[in-house]
């Protein structure tokens, strides 16, 4: 029998027989690993241990000690939910039930559920876990599967689409329950140590609002009650930090029904923060020799057809007819920047040419997927595109990455790096993609940067290096990105004159330092819990006169603090109430001024950590604020020990 070669996480290669499975690979590595194998990761995809491997596959073995194990366990918990539901409501129809980063969900219909029903379902789930039912994979014929799901249009949809052409289909069986599923799963229901159902919502089948509305039940599962308790405590804190809640309390933004879904309005407080973020990004861009440009919100769709976006994004675009011509709100800024580059003639000496723009873009996400600022229809990318010679790629990507690291360091965020490769839906030749991916891999390896591989997660026009980061609660968020693109210069016929006086094709590099302002703003709200660093805070200083007699002095102090965002609390409240209100509003500094302060020309300073100092010189305080602002310190530190 012929052999094939797979790649292991340590960089080594392993020869196995053709037709080998993930489990076969594990046994080839060692009998102990084979016995402990629960699942595998093949080319970045979590699969059952019975899944076949192919020549050149990247294979990771998953055991109960692996990071991926919890996802496998949660997938089984989704099946336990479905089994419990059908024990209590035999008429219920099942759609899909995947694991998620925080647990699992199952979409169901033909049953009327509300939050009060979750406790009984959860009790039945715990019974199933207590029964410790073996979870076994079985193969069914297509005919048997179609017969089984004769009355279930959702499972039949899966059979006719994702499983189209498969003569044998994977089912998982536990007790009386069976479900069409590729897996993977843990070996028995008893492996689930703790489970909790969290909430109910509605969802469209396949996320399409033109399809039927289903009931979605969310839950989570862990190996132990201790882990579940820690998660629930973290979840409660996350709810307190929810950017929608803090956004209302601090009057940062709103998304009213009258504006349309996913179209946020930024109030003065929110806009002040966004302006500071924009000025910071602009300073980094100008330091790196980027030039500002601006492109319109609307283009003829000819531009999007030329760039390839029309074929790849048309379902997500807002289109309209104007005088019998089709136009579209821009889903990306890059075609506009490529068009600007194309308006001039360039020499090799001129390159790299670098543009930046805070560009508003529009994506027609399904309504069910919209959520606060994390997923919207209208958002702004701190976009940058540069055009360079092939030999300049590595130095330009290094410079971009340095700027990204400066952004993340400024906010105290630790970066996680991933290389995202060619997606199934893409443009360009194999040769171009291999060259692009090789260039990015070279940059990462030459700088000794640890990175994960994300197969198939690249942009449709090129591979990318993605940066994610953890917030104060340990949650991981997508953020900045840098992408190499050999395709768009080809599609736009971009050229420069080389040293040989011949025309050459530039390379286009896409990059964003934040990702999008909306997503980054959302993360910052929750990361800082509304307690923004002084330089970002919408209100930086609040002056609290002890009585109305000091209102005049309070305004003189405000004037002496220059251009900082300073207010005077002139309501006839007690000092205690004024202080409490300032604390609740997350103001970094409060200045208390009374008769003594007015006589001495000083201030008493109180920060939001409740530290205080009296007899402070106004000049000294202003000089400190200037330094704190310029250095973008994370915490107010005038009164730091």
Any known ligand binding at 510? yes
Q: What ranges make up the beta strands (E) of 96-250? A: 104-109, 136-141, 168-174, 177-180, 194-204, 213-222
Q: Quick one: how far is CA 240 from the chain centroid?
A: 20
Residue 99 is classified by DSSP as B
Ligand-binding annotation for 334, yes or no, is: yes
How many Cβ atoms are within 10 Å of 608's Cβ, its own excluded?
A: 18
In angstroms, the CA 27 to CA 110 distance is 45
Closest CA to 351 of 484, 498, 512: 498
Tokens of 258: 């009258």
- Can you give the three-state secondary structure of 310-324, one letter per residue? HHHHHHHCCEEEECC
Q: Which of 77, 55, 45 is nearest to 6 (CA)?
A: 55
Give the angle 157-161-166 at the CA atoms, nearest 5°: 110
Label residues 212-242 b or e (16+ Cβ within 10 Å = b): eebbbbbbbbbbeeeebeebeeebeeeeebe
C-alpha–C-alpha distance, residues 371 and 143, integer Å:
41
Q: Is 112 exposed, middle or buried (CB count within 10 Å of its CB: 0-12, 13-18, 19+)?
A: exposed
CA distance 562 to 568: 14
Distance CA 305, CA 326 (A): 11
Q: What is the 3-state secondary structure (H, E, C) of 397-442?
A: HHHHHHHHHHHHHHCCCCEEEEEECCCCCCCCCHHHHHHHHHHHHH
Cα dihedral: 183, 186, 192, 195 (round 10): -10
Sequence-distant (6+) residues with CB within 8 A of 126 are: 195
Q: Is 309 annotated as ligand-binding?
A: no
- SS3 per residue for 619-641: HHHHHHHHHHHHCCCCCCCCCCC
Nearest Cα residue to 603 out of 545, 528, 539: 545
Q: Are 195 and 126 in contact (CB under 8 A)?
A: yes
Give the C-alpha separation, 629 to 641, whole Å: 19
- Degrees (nearest 5) of the Cα angle 289, 291, 295? 155
For the annotated binding site for Zn(2+), the residues are 334, 385, 510
For the annotated binding site, the residues are 334, 385, 510
């Amino acid at each position: 029998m012929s052999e094939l070669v797979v790649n292991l996480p340590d960089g080594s290669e392993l020869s196995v027989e053709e037709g080998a499975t993930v489990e076969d690979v594990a046994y080839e590595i060692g009998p102990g690993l084979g016995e402990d194998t629960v699942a595998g990761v093949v080319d970045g995809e979590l699969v059952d241990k019975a899944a076949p491997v192919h020549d050149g596959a990247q294979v990771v073995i998953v055991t109960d000690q692996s990071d991926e194990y919890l996802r496998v366990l949660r997938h089984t918990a989704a099946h336990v939910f479905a089994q419990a539901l059908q024990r209590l409501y035999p008429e219920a129809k099942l759609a899909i039930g995947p694991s998620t980063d925080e647990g699992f969900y199952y979409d169901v219909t033909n049953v009327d559920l509300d939050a009060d029903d979750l406790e009984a379902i959860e009790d039945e789930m715990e019974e199933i876990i207590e029964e410790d039912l073996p979870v076994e994979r079985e193969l069914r014929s297509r005919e048997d599967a179609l017969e089984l799901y004769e009355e279930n249009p959702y499972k039949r949809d899966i059979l006719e689409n994702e499983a189209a052409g498969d003569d044998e289909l994977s089912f998982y069986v536990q007790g009386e329950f069976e479900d069409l599923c590729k897996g993977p799963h843990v070996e028995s229901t008893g492996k689930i140590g703790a489970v909790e159902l969290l909430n109910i919502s509605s969802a469209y089948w396949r996320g399409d609002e033109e399809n039927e509305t289903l009931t979605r039940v969310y839950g989570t599962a862990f190996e132990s009650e201790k882990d579940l308790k820690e998660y629930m405590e973290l979840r409660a804190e996350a709810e307190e930090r929810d950017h929608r809640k803090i956004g209302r309390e601090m009057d940062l933004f709103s998304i009213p029904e009258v504006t349309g879904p996913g179209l946020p309005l930024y109030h003065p407080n929110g806009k002040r923060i966004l302006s500071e973020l924009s000025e910071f990004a602009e300073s980094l861009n100008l330091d790196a020799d980027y030039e500002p440009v601006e492109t319109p919100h609307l283009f003829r769709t000819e531009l999007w057809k030329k760039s390839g976006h029309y074929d790849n994004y048309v379902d997500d675009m807002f289109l309209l007819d104007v005088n019998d011509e089709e136009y579209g709100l821009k889903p990306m800024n890059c075609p506009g920047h490529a068009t600007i580059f194309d308006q001039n003639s360039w020499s090799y000496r001129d390159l790299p040419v670098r543009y930046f723009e805070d560009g508003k873009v529009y994506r027609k996400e399904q309504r069910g997927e919209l959520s606060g600022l994390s997923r919207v229809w209208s958002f702004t990318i701190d976009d940058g595109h540069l055009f360079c010679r092939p030999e300049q790629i590595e130095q330009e990507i290094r410079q971009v990455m340095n700027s990204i690291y400066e952004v993340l360091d400024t906010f105290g965020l630790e970066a996680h790096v991933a290389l995202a490769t060619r997606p199934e839906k893409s443009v360009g030749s194999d040769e171009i993609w291999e060259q692009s991916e090789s260039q990015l891999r070279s940059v990462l390896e030459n700088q000794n940067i640890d990175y994960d591989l994300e197969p198939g997660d690249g942009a449709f026009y090129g591979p990318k290096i993605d940066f994610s980061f953890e917030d104060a609660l340990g949650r991981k968020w997508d953020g900045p990105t840098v992408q190499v693109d050999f395709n768009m210069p080809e599609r736009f016929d971009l050229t420069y004159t080389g040293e040989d006086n011949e025309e050459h094709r530039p390379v286009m590099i896409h990059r964003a330092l934040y990702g999008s302002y909306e997503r980054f703003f959302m993360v910052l709200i929750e990361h800082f819990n509304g307690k923004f660093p002084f330089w970002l805070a919408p209100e930086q200083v609040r002056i609290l006169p002890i009585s109305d007699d000091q209102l005049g002095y309070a305004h003189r102090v405000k004037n002496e603090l220059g251009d900082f965002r300073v207010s005077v609390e002139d309501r006839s409240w007690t000092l205690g109430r004024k202080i409490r209100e300032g604390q609740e509003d997350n103001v970094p500094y409060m200045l208390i001024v009374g008769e003594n302060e007015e006589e001495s020309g000083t201030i008493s300073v109180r920060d939001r950590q409740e530290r205080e100092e009296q007899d402070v010189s106004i000049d000294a305080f202003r000089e400190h604020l200037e330094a704190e602002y310029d250095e973008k310190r994370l915490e107010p530190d005038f009164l730091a020990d």
